[in-house]
Amino acid sequence: MHNLSKNVMRFAVAGEKDLPVLVTRSLAARASNRRWTRLQATCCAIGLAIGVAGLATPSGAVASEPRSWDFVDGDDFQKGDLDGLALHPIHGLSVAPGLARVDVDAELVHCWLRDGKRLWLGTGVEGKIFVVEGDKAKEVAAVDAALVGSLASDGKGGVYAGLIGKGEIVHVTADFKVTTLVELPDAKHVWALLNHGGQLLAATGPGGKVFAVNVAAKTASVYADTDTEHALVMVEDKGAVLVGTAGSPMLLRIEGEGKIVALASYPGSEVRSIARLNDRIYAAINGNPEVLKLQQLKATPKSPGVDKDKRQTKASQTKTKASGGGLGAVWVRHDDGQLYQHFVSPLGLLGQIGAAGQGVVAGAAHGGRVLIGDLEGAVTTLFDLDEGAVLGVEMGPKGPVTLFTGRSAAVYRVGGTPARSVFTSQVLTASGVARWGRVEAIGSGKLWVETRSGYSNPANDTWSAWQPLANERIQSAPATMFQVRVTLASTDATLSELHLHRQLLNRTPFIEKLDVKFDAKATSYHVNWSARDPDGDKLGYVITYRRRGTTQWLMLHDRYYDKTSLGLSPKDM
């Protein structure tokens, strides 16, 4: 029997994926391929020396299970930047049509009108009217209102403009002279103007009235009362007028003065836009009670026209799906009365919609993207505009030909080949420092893959530079955060799946607490300890001892000890 005060004890701790190795310290925590850091604690009063050895991970030590980030459908790719790309929910990424940008010196383009060779723009939040000529947008008029809400042709090369915040209609002549046409009674907003049957109709709110304007007499009278909060949008339809409302979102048909037929009602807060395709009427429905507050749209922090490479890309930050602060969906009503939801916007609120070919096109009010829903409701995403809000869409026979934006205002002509077609992932975050493995890019055509890594979100200058793969393996340094970008380098290139493999560097388990107390009555020691593994591995312990003055360590047991306390008496030694 030995005197315990003349013995030294040692502990070893290892995670479930770690193999213990021999160390020459008094108390040790250990795992495979480890170097050691030590904390020495001596209980001088009882003559018991106890050493604590904590694990430290050497370069290259890995023991965790391999993991991967997988992009396999539209929802996965939607979270990144789609520069010059089209995204189908099943087939993945392909090269989109090109875009030619025209800068507009305003916050947002709220309405537009193509009248012959002229393209008119109504903007906010300073109430300006522009004409686009070639690759320039020229300011031609300013009105006393925050926002130009609607435009209609005067048939003579000029336009009528409905104002938001004043309930007025102004006349802008072909030579850009501005006069007040009429002030509508009890109306604060003129949301839509429409030339119908030789007269000018104005949809207004609050009150939801549609006025008929006598242009020659400069007077107005109520043409139809929708009995809703706002009559928000009007379109010509087979000799009648379709009206979409807000407050109580409904689709109405005005078949003559005072003759209103209800076609549909919707969940949500507004009918933002209406479009017909053959025997179907599509309606963009938004579900945020704040959507009418258009003044909430803010300018981008960057001035219009800044090169995209010099901006902070949206994918440099973690981005959430449907981050627009509201819900948007497209509903369809057949002429036989069938009514159903066609698709839900993956990006929240919707702007203007249009219909052509075999589907419906919708601008996303957040995310800078255009959504195309086919007849089955599958949604393809186009573009990734820096301005953030696609508020207007001009349609051609086969699809969108012009886009109009907010945050800030711009006009994009659609056509040709994009300058580049690049997918950039959002910042991907590992649970610890990771070593990167292979990349599997599944697609066709020419694909060029690059990666970078770092420790911050958003990415900044401390990150590694973009590096190409070498033998399909990632060359970026180990880190906690990661990005990949894939260039579709040929017009026929596609990317349907992307798999990024990683493995966490196995981190050192360490002892957090060690207490030794002597029980004089029982002439024994009570030892308590706690340890933690940063990777969550299950821990086990080995307790060894040796007599002072000797070098041989003896084990108290022949297995891992899974408890965190131990009572020792001389007979145990």
Better pLDDT: 374 or 299: 374
In the structure encoding, which two tokens stand for residue 84, read together?
């010059």
* pLDDT of residue 549 exceeding 50: yes
Least confident of 55-69, 103-117, 408-422: 55-69
Return the percentage of the chain with pLDDT > 70, whole number.
81
pLDDT at 320: 37
| Cα 489 from Cα 496, distance rounded (Å) | 15
Confidence of residue 9 (pLDDT cuts 50, 70, 90): low
pLDDT at 7: 54
Q: What is the mean pLDDT of the chain?
A: 82
pLDDT at 164: 95
pLDDT at 485: 97
Residue 69 neighbours by CB under 8 Å, 6+ apart: 425, 428, 482, 499, 500, 502
| Cα 330 from Cα 335, distance rounded (Å) | 16
pLDDT at 20: 36
Angle at 275 between CA 188 and CA 340, to 5 degrees: 105
Per residue in 315-340, pLDDT (tens digit) is 444 343 344 457 899 999 999 999 99
pLDDT at 293: 40
pLDDT at 25: 31
Q: Rounded mean pLDDT of 381-405?
A: 91
pLDDT at 141: 96
Better pLDDT: 219 or 504: 219
pLDDT at 573: 61
Which run of H or E residues covers position 36?
strand 35-43
pLDDT at 56: 35
Per residue in 480-513, pLDDT (tens digit) is 999 999 999 999 999 999 999 999 887 778 888 8
* pLDDT of residue 375 exceeding 90: no
Q: What is the DSSP letter of 399?
A: S
- What's the CA dihedral at 429, 432, 438, 443 to 10 degrees? -20
Q: How far apart are the first and last CA of the chain?
A: 7
CB 430 within 8 A of CB 480: yes
pLDDT at 518: 82
Q: Rounded mean pLDDT of 167-187?
A: 95
* pLDDT of residue 244 exceeding 70: yes
Residue 209 neighbours by CB under 8 Å, 6+ apart: 186, 187, 222, 224, 225, 226, 231
Q: Rounded mean pLDDT of 368-389?
A: 88
Confidence of residue 11 (pLDDT cuts 50, 70, 90): low
Per residue in 68-99, pLDDT (tens digit) is 999 998 889 989 999 999 999 888 999 999 99
| Cα 203 from Cα 236, distance rounded (Å) | 13
| Cα 259 from Cα 100, distance rounded (Å) | 44
Q: Rounded mean pLDDT of 196-201?
A: 93
CB 307 within 8 A of CB 420: no
* pLDDT of residue 13 exceeding 90: no
| Cα 235 from Cα 273, distance rounded (Å) | 9
pLDDT at 431: 87
In the structure encoding, which two tokens stand for residue 359, read together?
């589907």
What Rg do the C-alpha atoms of the chain give, in angstroms?
34
CB 542 within 8 A of CB 560: yes
| Cα 207 from Cα 189, distance rounded (Å) | 10
| Cα 156 from Cα 154, distance rounded (Å) | 5
Better pLDDT: 26 or 524: 524
pTM of the entire predicted model: 0.73
pLDDT at 36: 30
pLDDT at 33: 33
Return the percentage of the chain with pLDDT > 90, whole number.
58
| Cα 529 from Cα 526, distance rounded (Å) | 10
pLDDT at 560: 64
| Cα 349 from Cα 481, distance rounded (Å) | 30
pLDDT at 532: 83
pLDDT at 558: 65
Confidence of residue 226 (pLDDT cuts 50, 70, 90): very high
* pLDDT of residue 341 exceeding 90: yes
Q: In the beta sheet, which residues pair with residue 130?
A: 121, 139
| Cα 232 from Cα 259, distance rounded (Å) | 18
* pLDDT of residue 176 exceeding 80: yes
Least confident of 224-238, 289-303, 495-509, 556-570: 289-303
* pLDDT of residue 556 exceeding 50: yes
Better pLDDT: 467 or 299: 467
Measured in degrees and rounded to the nearest 5, phi and psi for residue 295 equal: -65, -10
Residue 35 neighbours by CB under 8 Å, 6+ apart: 56, 58
| Cα 166 from Cα 466, distance rounded (Å) | 52
| Cα 510 from Cα 53, distance rounded (Å) | 8
